[in-house]
Structure 1
């Protein structure tokens, strides 16, 4: 409403000046337009308000044949001075806000990097790499999570996405990753690792306070867990997350689960959850990609989704995992024109033995 006030004033002045009510002195009203715009509309809005006020002043002075009076020129001088002061003030305020926002964003990104660490380059029978990209939406921390660890059961990886953004989402990320990092080393069944992550989130929801209320409303987590043992297979537990992709001999295969399962914290939606992970072939030379929906839901100017599988097949076979992810990153930037609307997280592993 405050942003419309300068233009409401402009309309009021026109009504007064172009009707029999023009005996009312409107100079102070026009002078107030750039001052109000400086507070609410920024430099461009201030300039537009000043230009509009000047145009109205010229129009009304001509209509009322007031160019011979000294008051007209006094009004122009006052309008010019207030406009200049408004532009300077608005530019300074905008610069300060930009600086404060950048500082908050740097702090948010630092906090995110503490929780999300790069995966090791070599884990048992696989080479690995990770990639995390922020959407750049002000200072909001995203809710993407990922981790890969070597255990006595094989290499275990998780990629997930907390609904929502901000510190609430980041806290949920920390809870889920903490549970995964602990239980991945002693639970022999991947489904139990995932269940522990969900239980940890549910315990956090049960804590009284504003945070738990926010999580209850919007904080469920989609996640996929993959386990790579010594055998040429990969065991997958998918809880409402985009399906992993395997690149085998130049062709991409989606690891679609036989049974759809709800995200973490929404187990009450089903009567029974699978007790065993699903297994898929994963031979030497194959590549496995876990990712968040920020990749597949990225759109171009024509509102077309990013063709992840096709892009994977186009990447050279001799690239390292990190080079492979960088190729996907560059293709994603080209597709979106550099404007991501959601955060992106990916883990890629190559089977070496």
Structure 2
């Protein structure tokens, strides 16, 4: 996904975080209030129910260990205040202490049950995400006719499996056809847009002989889906513009060339004799979904030499826009040249390591890479 175009956090995101932190602190705050009241002349107030509520509140947000800590604090406060006020002879002290112990035990067990349920739900969500990834972002085949290929995907968000980046490689009667794209936006709408574009690509590559028409099919499918979503949400034109996708589509025919249609995407890099150079489009075109901004014909195919021994790298801007501590961008061409003599998998591992070192392990955007070597 394109980091500069990411939507800002929702207006309630910060407020929700503050409320959650307050909820975590509330049990300990209550214990502190009870301690202050019982150790001052205000101890005439009846604070027993407040102290009993401490482990119950902790069970909601703090987990088993946090609940146990809150319960232990409440017991300590109860013992200290009863000793300070010389209240051990009264029946109320023992009643409150017994109630506190019972509620604490129930709170710890409830918290464990809630955590187990949440872990099971999270595991199920991860399994679903992995299945979706296998459908949307399956690894490219290692052998595709006269080329060998490999792919890499890195999600910027911790724990995420898929996002708004997309890629695929398919062998057809017209040659090897590849796509790498980047959805504007994030979250489920971005995943949906990626699925729409990939679905259109995987269908049209087998019957459209013109690579431009393949790209046009992807754009048309994206516009139809965005229009449907806009109509259902009454979002209007603004919602339609939310769904654009930058993409580069390549075709490797039997001839020693690679044909490319670029729709607002970072140009692929061609590595030849240890030197990397970008395959920039002759005519810049807008992303998929914004075809109304194309003033003339619906695009053209650029052709570049792609000889045996050459290496082609298609990537999203999450690679080249990764920054280091000095706000400098990642030098992808330089990294390719430094790794030029490695095998495909070793090359991708080296690229991944160099990228993460440059970004200090914190990617600001998802990364998708497809590597293609021409053998014959």
Shorter chain as denominator, the TM-score bin is 0.7 to 0.9
For the 8 Å contact 1:112–1:170, the answer to whether it is kept is no
Shift of 1:98: 1.0
Which of the numbers 145, 148, 171 marks the counterpart of 1:150?
171
For the 8 Å contact 2:223–2:240, the answer to whether it is kept is no
For the 8 Å contact 2:241–2:290, the answer to whether it is kept is no
2:220 matched to which residue of 1?
Answer: 199
Of the structure 1 ranges 291-300 and 218-227, higher mean CA displacement relative to structure 2 is found in 291-300
Which of the numbers 227, 245, 269 marks the counterpart of 1:245?
269
Residues 1:267 and 2:288 are matched in the alignment: no
Shift of 1:66: 4.5
Distance (Å, rounded) in 2 between the aligned partners of 1:212 and 1:178: 24
> Can you list the C-alpha shifts for 1:114-147, whole angstroms capped at 9, x where unaligned?
2433333333332222234456755774233212
Secondary structure of 2:262's partner? strand
For the 8 Å contact 1:141–1:167, the answer to whether it is kept is no
Residues 1:32 and 2:56 are matched in the alignment: no
5 Å matches for 1:326-337?
Answer: 326-332=349-355
Secondary structure of 2:214's partner? helix
* Matched residue count: 352
Change (3 A) 1:318 1:324: closer
Distance (Å, rounded) in 1 between the aligned partners of 2:164 and 2:196: 12
Secondary structure of 2:216's partner? helix
Distance (Å, rounded) in 2 between the aligned partners of 1:125 and 1:271: 37
Q: Structure 2: where are the runs of 5+ without partners?
A: 1-18
Of the structure 1 ranges 309-318 and 246-255, higher mean CA displacement relative to structure 2 is found in 309-318
Change (3 A) 1:139 1:82: farther
For the 8 Å contact 2:155–2:161, the answer to whether it is kept is no
2:70 matched to which residue of 1?
Answer: 49
Change (3 A) 1:81 1:231: same
2:372 matched to which residue of 1?
Answer: 349
Residues 1:94 and 2:112 are matched in the alignment: no
5 Å matches for 1:98-113?
Answer: 98-113=119-134
Distance (Å, rounded) in 2 between the aligned partners of 1:269 and 1:165: 23
For the 8 Å contact 1:158–1:225, the answer to whether it is kept is yes
2:300 matched to which residue of 1?
Answer: 276
1:224 matched to which residue of 2?
Answer: 248
Shift of 1:45: 3.3
Distance (Å, rounded) in 1 between the aligned partners of 2:143 and 2:46: 79
Change (3 A) 1:10 1:243: farther
Change (3 A) 1:275 1:294: closer
Query: Structure 2-normalised TM-score?
Result: 0.76
Shift of 1:69: 5.5
1:172 matched to which residue of 2?
Answer: 193
Which of the numbers 174, 180, 189 marks the counterpart of 1:159?
180
Distance (Å, rounded) in 1 between the aligned partners of 2:370 and 2:76: 59
For the 8 Å contact 2:75–2:97, the answer to whether it is kept is yes
Distance (Å, rounded) in 2 between the aligned partners of 1:99 and 1:335: 36
Query: Structure 1-normalised TM-score?
Result: 0.80
Secondary structure of 1:192's partner? helix
Shift of 1:349: 0.6
Distance (Å, rounded) in 2 between the aligned partners of 1:67 and 1:301: 61
Shift of 1:153: 4.3
Two-structure CA RMSD over aligned residues (Å): 3.7
For the 8 Å contact 2:241–2:289, the answer to whether it is kept is no
Distance (Å, rounded) in 2 between the aligned partners of 1:37 and 1:302: 42
